[in-house]
């Protein structure tokens, strides 16, 4: 591992929300941040969001590269990392942050909604981890941080696909932690609760109010609350932690 500065950091889903906050928090002079993003429903808006992330990271004196790539497609993940290696030659930190929801009661959940969520939220981190850990292993060190969710531990009505993907991601985290420990690659997960982003903005007001009332700290989480914990796990201070799940939920889950 290199020091906390001058690192090559890879963040999936870095154009908006928690991913953008992670890019901004990990931005340091001398470091390089590569992130991907993908949202075919409105490519123009997603490109504009990515440009905002790039500008914010550059303002911190850090290089930033944003690449349109779908984490669920093996060829696109390979091309993404090929570009990173051609440009920077190493990977010190991988944050598997990209994720989507396709909520609905299980009784009526479409198979396509199950497949889409599992492909992006679980297969994506698997594909990225396989490549990044191989690179990190050759460097004899690296950090992988997976964005899980408290619902992956406690379940949630109307989110069978999402919950299964996040529970799976926690299992993947622990297995990867064991498999790559000998190479000094640590693998941990962060499990946010209710964080104000585009993902939660679409929830009905009633659902938001119910969630807020279940948070002992009495407020919704901000993207910076999550990014700060990711920064800790990516730092030298967390060198002796692996296979852990850190909940960032204002006490919503304890």
- Which stretches of the chain bind ligand NAI, using CB under 6 A? 12-19, 36-39, 46, 70-72, 97-100, 120, 147, 149, 192, 194-195, 197-200
Q: Which residues contact 167 (CB under 8 A, 6 or more apart)?
A: 152, 153
- 244 in the Ramachandran plot: left (φ > 0), alpha (ψ -120 to 50) or beta? beta
Looking at the DSSP bridge assignments, the partners of residue 65 are: 34
Phi, psi torsion values for 38, nearest 5 degrees = -165, 120
Cα–Cα distance measured from residue 229 to residue 7, given in angstroms and rounded to the nearest whole number: 18
Provide Rg for the chain, Cα atoms.
Answer: 17
- C-beta closer to ligand NAI: residue 38 or 180: 38
- Which one of the listed residues 37, 162, 180, 240 is annotated catalytic? 162
Measured from the CB atom, the residue of 1 and 149 that comes closer to ligand NAI is 149
- Cα 99 to chain centroid distance, Å, stands at 7
Smaller CB separation from ligand NAI, 58 or 138:
58
Between 198 and 236, CB nearer to ligand NAI: 198
Q: Are strands 142-147 and 32-37 parallel, antiparallel or unpaired?
A: unpaired
Query: Is 37 among the catalytic positions?
Result: no
Q: Name the residue nearer to ligand NAI (CB basis): 87 or 198.
A: 198
Report the nearest approach of ligand NAI to the CB of residue 194 (Å). Answer: 5
For residue 140, the minimal CB distance to ligand NAI (Å) is 28
Q: At closest approach, how far in Å is the CB of 68 from ligand NAI? A: 9
128 within 8 A of 177, measured Cβ to Cβ: no
Q: How far is the CB of 239 from ligand NAI (least distance, A)?
A: 24
Calpha distance 222→137 (Å, rounded): 33
**Residue located via tokens 């390089």:** 32
Count other Cβ atoms within 10 Å, centred on residue 128. Answer: 24
Round to whole Å and give the CA distance between 180 and 90: 17
Least distance in Å: CB of 168 to ligand NAI?
12
Instruction: Spell out a b/e string for 135-158, using b for 16 or more CB atoms within 10 Å of the CB, else e.
Output: bbbebeebbbbbbbbbbbeeeeee
Q: Give catalytic residues, as residue numbers.
A: 162
């Amino acid at each position: 591992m290199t020091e906390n500065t001058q690192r090559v950091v890879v963040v999936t889903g870095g154009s908006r929300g928690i991913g953008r906050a992670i890019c901004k928090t990990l931005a340091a002079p001398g470091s390089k941040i590569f992130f991907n993003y993908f949202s075919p429903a409105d490519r123009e808006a997603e490109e504009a969001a990515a440009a905002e992330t790039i500008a914010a990271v550059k303002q911190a004196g850090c290089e930033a590269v944003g690449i349109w790539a779908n984490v669920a497609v093996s060829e696109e993940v390979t091309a993404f990392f090929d570009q990173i290696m051609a440009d920077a030659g190493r990977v010190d930190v991988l944050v598997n942050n990209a994720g989507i929801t396709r909520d609905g009661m299980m009784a009526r959940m479409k198979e396509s909604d199950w497949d889409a969520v599992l492909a992006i939220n679980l297969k994506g981190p698997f594909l990225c981890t396989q490549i990044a850990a191989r690179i990190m292993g050759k460097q004899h060190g690296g950090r992988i941080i997976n964005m899980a969710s408290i619902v992956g531990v406690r379940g949630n009505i109307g989110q069978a696909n999402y919950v299964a993907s996040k529970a799976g991601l926690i299992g993947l985290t622990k297995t990867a932690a064991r498999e790559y420990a000998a190479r000094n690659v640590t693998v941990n997960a962060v499990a946010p609760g209710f964080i104000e982003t585009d993902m939660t903005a679409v929830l009905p007001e009633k659902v938001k109010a119910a969630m807020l009332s279940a948070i002992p700290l009495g407020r919704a989480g901000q993207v910076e609350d999550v990014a700060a914990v990711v920064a800790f796990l990516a730092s030298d201070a967390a060198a002796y932690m692996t296979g852990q799940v850190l909940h960032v939920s204002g006490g919503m889950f304890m």
